[in-house]
């Protein structure tokens, strides 16, 4: 899929919503440019305004609030490439192809415990129940050594539920890659973390 050249919102399925208008309204009403089919979203919930080459996110006095990078939005905020916008159960990543490359290291992995949405390097990743179970086991046993038999048994018992996870550094990248196949070695390690509404590494 070709990356759009205009600023856009990226949904969890990887669909791009172009911000080609000077004002884009997000909400539950049929007249909104971005319709969010969730009763937790207000009819006119939030708007993104293009002003002088910048894009500004405003909450429109919504009942449940608009969340930006895990924080409830109070004042209007300038959007930066990679920002996470949450409205009810809907989640979008703001992408600006013309943004200046940032030298600071961005979070590598975001995991939402309420929905099970997983993002790696700002891109959505779909996990099977078995893969979710592996993440949950590694999170529960962080800073401990897990044998392959324990991993197999733990994944089997955890497939029916999903728990929040948070990894850091090289361990996060290694664990994300290992979800595509069974662990080859008898050991796995996971880093420490703290808890926020949306988990970011």
> pLDDT by residue (tens digit) across 191-201?
444 334 444 44
Chain centroid offset of residue 14 CA: 11
The answer to whether 114 and 161 are in contact (CB under 8 A) is no
pLDDT tens digits, 106-148? 557 776 767 767 777 777 878 788 888 887 777 677 778 878 8
Window from 22-36, 37-51, 154-168, 185-199 with minimum mean pLDDT: 185-199
Q: Which candidate, 168, 10, 166, 3, places its Cα nearest to that of 79?
A: 10
Which is more confidently placed, 87 or 190? 87
The answer to whether 78 and 54 are in contact (CB under 8 A) is yes
Q: State the average pLDDT for the chain.
A: 76
The answer to whether 44 and 27 are in contact (CB under 8 A) is yes
Nearest-angstrom CA–CA distance, 56 and 83: 12
Does 97 score more than 70 pLDDT? yes
Tokens matching residue 53: 């080459």
Strand order in the sheet with 8-10: 16-18, 8-10, 90-95, 84-87, 67-68, 71-72
Question: What is the pLDDT, as a whole number, of residue 187?
Answer: 42
């Amino acid at each position: 899929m070709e990356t759009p050249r205009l600023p856009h919102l990226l949904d969890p399925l990887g669909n791009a919503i172009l911000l080609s208008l000077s004002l884009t309204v997000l909400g539950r009403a049929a007249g909104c440019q971005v319709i969010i089919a969730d009763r937790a979203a207000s009819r006119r919930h939030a708007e993104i305004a293009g002003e002088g080459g910048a894009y500004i996110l405003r909450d429109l006095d919504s009942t449940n609030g608009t969340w930006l990078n895990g924080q409830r939005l109070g004042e209007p905020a300038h959007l930066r490439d990679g920002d996470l916008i949450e409205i009810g159960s809907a989640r979008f990543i703001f992408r600006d192809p013309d943004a200046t490359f940032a030298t600071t290291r961005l979070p590598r992995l975001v995991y939402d415990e309420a929905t099970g949405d997983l993002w790696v390097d700002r891109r959505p990743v779909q996990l099977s129940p078995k893969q979710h179970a592996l993440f949950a086991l590694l999170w529960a046993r962080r800073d401990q050594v897990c044998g392959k038999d324990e991993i197999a048994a733990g994944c089997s018992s955890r497939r029916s539920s999903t728990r929040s996870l948070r990894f850091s550094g090289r361990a996060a990248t290694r664990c994300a890659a290992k979800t595509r196949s069974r662990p080859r070695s008898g050991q796995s390690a996971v880093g420490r973390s703290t808890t926020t509404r949306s988990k970011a590494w």
